[in-house]
Structure 1
Amino acid sequence: MNKTVNINIGGLFFHIDEDAFQKLSRYFDAIKRSLSNSSGKEEIMKDIEMRVAELLTEKQKSDKHVINLKDVDEVIVVMGQPEDYRIDDDATEAKTDFNYTNRRKKLYRDKDNGLIGGVCTGLGHYFGIDAVWIKILFLILAFTSFGLLAYIILWIATPKAVTTSEKLEMTGEPVTISNIEKKVREEFDSVSNKIKNANYDEMGNQVKYGAERAANGLGDVIMRVFGAFAKVLGVFVLLFSSFALLGVLIASVILIFSSTLPANTILNNITTPIGLETPLWIQGVLFLIALGIPLFFLIILGLKILVTNLKSIGNIAKYSLLAIWIIAVGVLVSLGINEATQRAFEGKSVKKEVLNLLPNDTLHIKFVSNDFFSKNVSEYREFMFTQDSTKKEVIYSNQISFEIKSTDKPQAYLQIEKLADGKSFSEANQRAEKINYGFKMVGNQLILDNYLLTNIENKYRDQKVELYLYLPKGTLFVADETVQNYDESDNEFFNLHYSSDKYTYRVEETQVKCLDCPKDENEYNDVPNGIQTEDINVTEENDSVKTVSVKINGKEVINTKSGKKSKLTISPDGVVIKSE
């Protein structure tokens, strides 16, 4: 049975068995001898004793725990052997420093400063770069299996820096008295304060001590997890704000130099939030300031999350940028209000054009484009600043809508409504009247322009043309395939069938009916008795033509004289609508 001894180390009392006490005493004596010719020996020894006391405190499982040889051996492994502290004289120290310049760093994991396993921090020490860049690299590679696998392999294969000498080798510092003292002080400052301020009476309570250690351990784990999450968040903030700032910069440069672009390309493809009342180069500058400055501060925030000791840009720069941003936002708000007032009222100009259409004619409707502005009738442009054939600057737009409606009047007519916005009704009406729109009637064909024009001095204020074709009851018409691009008729009244542009429609009192659409496509294709066509053969007798009459349900539907074979299309009420 070994005797126990009560000793005081670093201000703390411990129960230690005699063998462990002797080994610990020899350990301290050996360290003192290795520092016998060094200045600051007492201060270094004091720090070493405090560190040993802190490590022995962690070994205590209760207030009755006795320090044994195993505990002392484990402490010595952490603290290092006396040879780690031995430097005989100044000459030896100088020699050590000289020889160290030819020594290479050793790769260790820096668990003390690392977030998870200390791999990135150890690599940072080894390669002499900030560990945050290595962490960013691993986060980027984490999206692939290689990054995670590489980190796990390094974690397993790389030893952890435990002793003082290993920590010095990890950072590439020479093992000198000054460096040992510096390293010991760095590790013991917080421990020293904790020990000096500790309540030693309470440390004897095993339950409370165990609870405190568990809580501290859990808190440490939580802080590390949230710390790692914060680093990941910082990377995403940094990447997002950087790419967004690059996009804002490119867009702003395009706006600023838009006047030098060929054919005002920027004007033909975008509509800015504050309209075209303000020159585009001014909009570009304001856009860059209003969005660029907040994104710049987000980049700074992301860097601060990743680099804890990042230097500030200074209060003068911060407040200057803030003032510039406030001014830019204020100007943008003012311009936005001005833009809203420019479009506060809608004006209208209405014109009716009677169509010379005979009662038995079938009206053919189509839209056409202007080859000078567009070769494709289906191409759509909300607006475009361009020149006409006379080199006059104009605004070109395809904002055209078309509707078919029924009328009680005996003659078909086209109602053209031109609309535009303005800051007053008077200005809006004047701008609407200055819209140029054309159409023409050729025989039984209604040819409509698919575009409008207005002079550039009228400014773009949502100019558009709405066409309303009023047709009397019984009117037959055919809609060209181009009509589907502009038709906005109420489907309950006129349902345009896109499967063919050869179908014939007839205007009824409440709706337009398709007369020759397939039954599976149109429920209103309802010729009586299922009769749609009849072949009529007429023969000549003695150079005279035989008169033929065709009747459906006792009602005569045709009386014709012909010497040819005819194909008739008959409407539901027995009227011939097509004769071929």
Structure 2
Amino acid sequence: MNKTISINLGGFFFHIDEDAYQKLTRYFDAVKHSLSPEGKEEIIKDIESRIAELFQERLKNEKQVVSIIEVDEIIAIMGQPEDYRIDEDKNYQDNPNTAYTSYARPKKLYRDKDNSMLGGVLAGLGHYIGIDPLWLRIIMVILFFGFGTGLLIYILLWVLIPEAVTTSQKLEMRGEPINISNIEKKVKEGFDEITGKINNIDHQKLTRNARSGANQVVSTLGDIFINLFKVIAKILGVFIIFFSGLTLIGIFIGGIVMIFSSSLSDAFIFNKMDTPLTFDYPLWVQGILLILTVGIPLLFLIILGLKLVVNNMRPLNSYLKYSLLAVWIVALITSIYIGIKQATEVGFTGKVAQKEQLFTQPTDTLFLKMDFNDFYAKNVHRKKSNLYTHDENNNPIIYSNTVMIHLMNTENETPFIQIEKNADGKTYEDARKRAEKIKYNFDIQENTIKLDNYFITDFKNKFRDQEVHIYIYLPEGTIVFPDKSISKFLTSHNSDINIYYGNEGEYYTVEGDEMKCLSCPIEKENDSLNENMSIKINDKELNINVKDNEVNIRAN
């Protein structure tokens, strides 16, 4: 029975048996002795992180003990220290067969901040698909200015794709084997880059005094601009967090209410709630889709805002990010499918018409009046569109005031009226059947027309944009007396005769496309007339003064 030891490797805790621990310790000691002093600590740190990742891949749970078998597998992947020699001479380059050959690894998608222009998204994507990032940047600019989607795609990728921070991640990004040789190479490249920058800084120090004052001002302005950009980015991050957070809370609350809508009455749902889709689909389904399709992008926006505000923020777990992305894609596809299906449900408009002739004389006055049912409303002007209610027999119905009156010209000698009922449906026949089920009443008695200000339909028909249009055809010269209740339902849309602009409850006559008032009182501009004038009669000048309805005539 071997003793078990707990170790901290690369920031992770592992249980390892004593034999495996001793072999792993000897391996690390050999690696340390084989490395040059330059960057040794950084290389060892990256090697530990990589070995910790390999251990995690092989252990099924946190309680499993690392055995010597796993250690041997890791050493086989990482290679023996004596197999690697990264020297400045050409011996290593001329004899590549002396190096340990590791298995090829698939590339992983990371953001490359080292070669980035903004977030490193396109640089990392270029490594992943094996093309120059310049072409991806050109495509992104075209998408941004051509279709307006480039920015949204870039932000989404910025949130989803993690940054390549460690040496192991940078090697994975390029698809290179993660072993001691490549880790050491990568670290040394980093040190060479830093050394080059230091040399450049030393060289700049020697030449800085020779710069002109204008160049120093430009350099200072550049620093100010960079700092200002950082401040703006943080302010933008705060705004993104604030508004996205408020919107997410609203979406979440609305979605929860919709999910638990089964406990709500049909009247409350139909009259008080507005949804992107019709009530043919259960509200709990719509609530789930609302939270997923809108809430997940808002969550990613909040994470992006946090990244702008908080420096060195830890990224989301990759499994969580990609799981959320997969769920969002499924929800989006489902929403699009339901939306398309919903569009087909109202793709056709059906109409039924009823025409009634009015047997009046040309000298008769046509009286128009709107009527209402006091069971549904208490006055004629109360407007309620698509209201769920019950009729006198307690049957569920849809009640609506969307009744529109159109005044039309006709060459007939007598006026007539046409009632048109419209509804939408998935086919023309379906729409027409829904229109036929609209119940609307009117009454014609000699020269008087009484029109209901409402219509009803069975609740089973649901709302399919049902409407009632009343077309009143009037010959030229017809005298009309519209009741005061009529004006609220008149419309100029699809009408020949303009809405009259006069007092209600007056007599009008049809003249072309206008309604001329016959009984409206004439408005006087002045109550009293005050005027002076002079005239000549037979070489005599007369002064006439009109004041307060009195006339004074005086000869000069």
- Normalised TM-score (structure 2): 0.54
Residue identity in the other structure for 1:207: N
Distance 1:421 1:359 in 2: 39
Task: Give, in angstroms, the shift of residue 474 of structure 1.
Answer: 4.4
Match of 1:390 among 393, 398, 402: 393
Match of residue 288 from structure 1: 291
Q: Is residue 267 from structure 1 mapped to residue 260 from structure 2 by the alignment?
A: no
Match of residue 435 from structure 2: 432
Match of residue 9 from structure 2: none
Match of residue 513 from structure 1: 516
SS of the aligned residue for 1:326 comes to: helix
Q: Is residue 277 from structure 1 mapped to residue 264 from structure 2 by the alignment?
A: no
Q: Is residue 300 from structure 1 mapped to residue 303 from structure 2 by the alignment?
A: yes
Match of 2:244 among 241, 244, 251: 241
Match of 2:235 among 232, 237, 261: 232
SS of the aligned residue for 2:316 comes to: coil
1:326-385 Cα deviation digits (max 9, x unpaired): 111111111111111111111110111234546654222111222222223223333122
Match of residue 20 from structure 1: none
CA distance 1:359–1:196, shift in 2 (3 Å): closer
Match of 1:207 among 199, 206, 209: 209
Match of residue 309 from structure 1: 312
Match of residue 479 from structure 2: 476
Distance 1:478 1:413 in 2: 15
**Percent pairwise identity:** 39
1:111-148 Cα deviation digits (max 9, x unpaired): xxxxxxxxxxxxxxxxxxxxxxxxxxxxxxxxxxxxxx
Task: Give, in angstroms, the shift of residue 505 of structure 1.
Answer: 1.7
Distance 2:444 2:492 in 1: 21
SS of the aligned residue for 2:383 comes to: coil
The runs of at least 4 aligned residues of structure 1 exceeding 6 Å deviation read 192-196, 209-215
Match of residue 376 from structure 1: 379
Unaligned stretches of 5+ residues in structure 1: 1-188, 522-580
Task: Give, in angstroms, the shift of residue 251 of structure 1.
Answer: 2.1
Residue identity in the other structure for 1:451: Y
Task: Give, in angstroms, the shift of residue 281 of structure 1.
Answer: 1.9
Distance 1:198 1:327 in 2: 52
Residue identity in the other structure for 1:336: G
User: Could you tell me whether the CA contact under 8 Å between 1:481 and 1:498 is conserved in 2?
Assistant: no
Distance 2:496 2:519 in 1: 17
Match of 1:501 among 497, 500, 504: 504
User: Could you tell me whether the CA contact under 8 Å between 1:388 and 1:394 is conserved in 2?
Assistant: yes
User: Could you tell me whether the CA contact under 8 Å between 2:404 and 2:490 is conserved in 1?
Assistant: yes
Distance 1:202 1:425 in 2: 80
User: Could you tell me whether the CA contact under 8 Å between 2:409 and 2:497 is conserved in 1?
Assistant: no
> Which is higher, the Rg of structure 1 or of structure 2?
1
Task: Give, in angstroms, the shift of residue 510 of structure 1.
Answer: 6.3
Match of residue 445 from structure 1: 448
Residue identity in the other structure for 2:270: L
Task: Give, in angstroms, the shift of residue 444 of structure 1.
Answer: 4.2
Distance 2:361 2:261 in 1: 54
Q: Give the CA RMSD over aligned residues.
A: 3.2
Residue identity in the other structure for 1:305: L
Task: Give, in angstroms, the shift of residue 443 of structure 1.
Answer: 5.8
SS of the aligned residue for 1:481 comes to: coil
1:404-440 Cα deviation digits (max 9, x unpaired): 2344445433211111111211111111111110112
User: Could you tell me whether the CA contact under 8 Å between 2:398 and 2:456 is conserved in 1?
Assistant: yes
User: Could you tell me whether the CA contact under 8 Å between 1:401 and 1:465 is conserved in 2?
Assistant: yes
Task: Give, in angstroms, the shift of residue 487 of structure 1.
Answer: 1.0
User: Could you tell me whether the CA contact under 8 Å between 2:353 and 2:421 is conserved in 1?
Assistant: yes
User: Could you tell me whether the CA contact under 8 Å between 1:353 and 1:413 is conserved in 2?
Assistant: yes
CA distance 1:279–1:492, shift in 2 (3 Å): closer
Distance 1:219 1:194 in 2: 22
Distance 1:413 1:501 in 2: 22
CA distance 1:516–1:199, shift in 2 (3 Å): closer
Match of 1:222 among 219, 222, 225: 225
- Normalised TM-score (structure 1): 0.52
Task: Give, in angstroms, the shift of residue 457 of structure 1.
Answer: 1.7
Distance 2:326 2:203 in 1: 58
CA distance 1:491–1:420, shift in 2 (3 Å): closer
Task: Give, in angstroms, the shift of residue 324 of structure 1.
Answer: 0.9
User: Could you tell me whether the CA contact under 8 Å between 1:400 and 1:486 is conserved in 2?
Assistant: yes
Match of residue 367 from structure 2: 364
CA distance 1:356–1:281, shift in 2 (3 Å): farther
Q: Is residue 346 from structure 1 mapped to residue 349 from structure 2 by the alignment?
A: yes
Match of residue 403 from structure 2: 400
1:72-103 Cα deviation digits (max 9, x unpaired): xxxxxxxxxxxxxxxxxxxxxxxxxxxxxxxx
Task: Give, in angstroms, the shift of residue 197 of structure 1.
Answer: 3.9
Residue identity in the other structure for 1:386: T
Unaligned stretches of 5+ residues in structure 2: 1-190, 525-556
Q: Which moved more, 1:318-327 or 1:485-494?
A: 485-494
SS of the aligned residue for 1:441 comes to: strand
1:317-332 map, 5 Å? 317-332=320-335
Residue identity in the other structure for 1:334: Y
Residue identity in the other structure for 1:454: T
User: Could you tell me whether the CA contact under 8 Å between 1:494 and 1:513 is conserved in 2?
Assistant: no
Residue identity in the other structure for 1:449: D
Distance 2:520 2:495 in 1: 17
Task: Give, in angstroms, the shift of residue 492 of structure 1.
Answer: 8.9
User: Could you tell me whether the CA contact under 8 Å between 1:493 and 1:512 is conserved in 2?
Assistant: no
CA distance 1:265–1:209, shift in 2 (3 Å): same
Match of residue 422 from structure 1: 425
